[in-house]
Amino acid sequence: MVLLERIAVLPYSQVFSIKNGAGFPFWVFQTQNGGVPTFENEGLFKSLPHFLGVVSGQLIEKEPIIPFVILLVVILVVPIIFERLRLPGLIGLILSGILIGQSGWNLFKIDSSIWDLLSTIGLAYLLFIAGLEVDLEQLNRKRNRALGFGSFAFCVPLVLGSLLGKIFGFDWLSSILIGSLISSYTLLAYPIINRLGLTNNEAVSVTIGASIFTDIATLLILAVCVSIHLQQLNIWQTIALLGWLAVYSVVVLVGFGRIGKEFLRRTGEDEANQFLFVITAVFLAAGMAEFIGIEAIIAAFFAGLAVNEVIGDGIVKQKIVFVGSVLFIPIFFVDLGLKLNLPAFLQDINLVWLTLLLVLILIASKLIAALFAKLIYRYNWREVITMWSISLPQVGVTSCVTFIAYQAELFNLDILNSVIILILVTSGIGPIITSRAARGLNSSLLKQQQTSTYVAVSDKKDNPFSIIVPIYNPQTQQHLMEMAALLAHQARGRIMPLAIATATASMDAPQLENSLQRSERLLSKATALSRILDVEAEPLLRIDDAFAQGISRAARENKANLIVMGWGKRTGLKARLFGNVIDGVLWASHCPVAVTRLVESPSKIQRILVPVENLTAPILQPVQFAAMLGESNQAQVTVLNVCDRRTSSSKISHRRSQLSLLVSKLGLSNPPEVQIIAHENVAQAILQAARLYDLVVLPFIRNRTIPGGLAISDVTTQLASQLTCSIIMLGEPPQRTNNATVKAGFSSSQLPVTSFQ
3-state secondary structure 509-527: CHHHHHHHHHHHHHHHHHH
* CB-side neighbour CA atoms (13 Å) of 294: 28
Poorest-pLDDT segment among 402-411, 641-650, 714-723: 714-723
How many C-beta neighbours within 10 Å does residue 343 have? 9
Q: What is the pLDDT of residues 447-481, one digit of tens each?
A: 444 444 444 444 445 578 899 999 887 777 888 89
Q: How far apart are the first and last CA of the chain?
A: 44
Predicted confidence at residue 730, as pLDDT, reads 85
Sign of the CA dihedral running 587, 588, 591, 594: negative
Q: Verify cis geometry, omega within 30 degrees of 0, for the bond prior to 25.
A: no
Confidence band of 710 (pLDDT split at 50, 70, 90)? very low
Question: Residues near 258 by Cβ (< 8 Å), separated by ≥ 6?
Answer: none
Predicted confidence at residue 51, as pLDDT, reads 52
Q: Verify cis geometry, omega within 30 degrees of 0, for the bond prior to 67.
A: no
Q: Does residue 27 register a pLDDT over 70?
A: no
Phi, psi of 699 (to 5 degrees): -65, 145
Predicted confidence at residue 14, as pLDDT, reads 55
Question: Residues near 266 by Cβ (< 8 Å), separated by ≥ 6?
Answer: none
Predicted confidence at residue 296, as pLDDT, reads 76
CA distance 509 to 102: 59
Q: What is the pLDDT of residues 581-625, one digit of tens each?
A: 777 787 778 888 998 888 888 888 899 999 887 655 456 778 888
Q: What is the pLDDT of residues 328-360, one digit of tens each?
A: 888 888 888 888 888 878 888 888 898 999 999
Asked if 197 and 443 touch (Cβ cutoff 8 Å), the reply is yes
Confidence band of 34 (pLDDT split at 50, 70, 90)? very low
* CB-side neighbour CA atoms (13 Å) of 142: 20
Sign of the CA dihedral running 574, 578, 582, 584: negative
CA angle in degrees (0–180, nearest 5) for 341-345-346: 125
What are the structural domain ranges in the chain? Answer: 2-63, 73-445, 455-591, 597-732
Asked if 456 and 490 touch (Cβ cutoff 8 Å), the reply is yes
CA distance 558 to 99: 54
Predicted confidence at residue 512, as pLDDT, reads 85
CATH number 3.30.300.30 is the correct assignment for the domain at 455-591: no
Question: From start to end of 648-736, where are the E strands?
Answer: 673-678, 695-701, 726-732
Q: What is the pTM of this model?
A: 0.65
Q: State percent of the chain over pLDDT 70.
A: 78
Q: Rounded to whole angstroms, what are the CA distances from 478 to 60, 241, 466, 483, 496?
A: 58, 69, 18, 9, 14
Write out the CATH class of domain 597-732.
alpha beta
Predicted confidence at residue 704, as pLDDT, reads 44
Indicate the fold that domain 73-445 takes in CATH. Answer: Na+/H+ antiporter like fold (1.20.1530)
Helix (H) or strand (E) holding 8: strand 2-9
Four-CA torsion 220, 224, 226, 231, nearest 10 degrees? 150
Confidence band of 176 (pLDDT split at 50, 70, 90)? very high
Q: Which of 97, 127, 577, 131 is nearest to 331 (CA)?
A: 97
CA distance 489 to 536: 9
Give Cα 130 distance to the centre of its chain. 13
Predicted confidence at residue 469, as pLDDT, reads 92
CA distance 483 to 478: 9
Asked if 737 and 133 touch (Cβ cutoff 8 Å), the reply is yes
Please tell me if the domain spanning 455-591 has the same topology as the one spanning 597-732: yes
Sign of the CA dihedral running 687, 689, 691, 697: negative
Poorest-pLDDT segment among 32-41, 117-126, 356-365, 589-598: 32-41
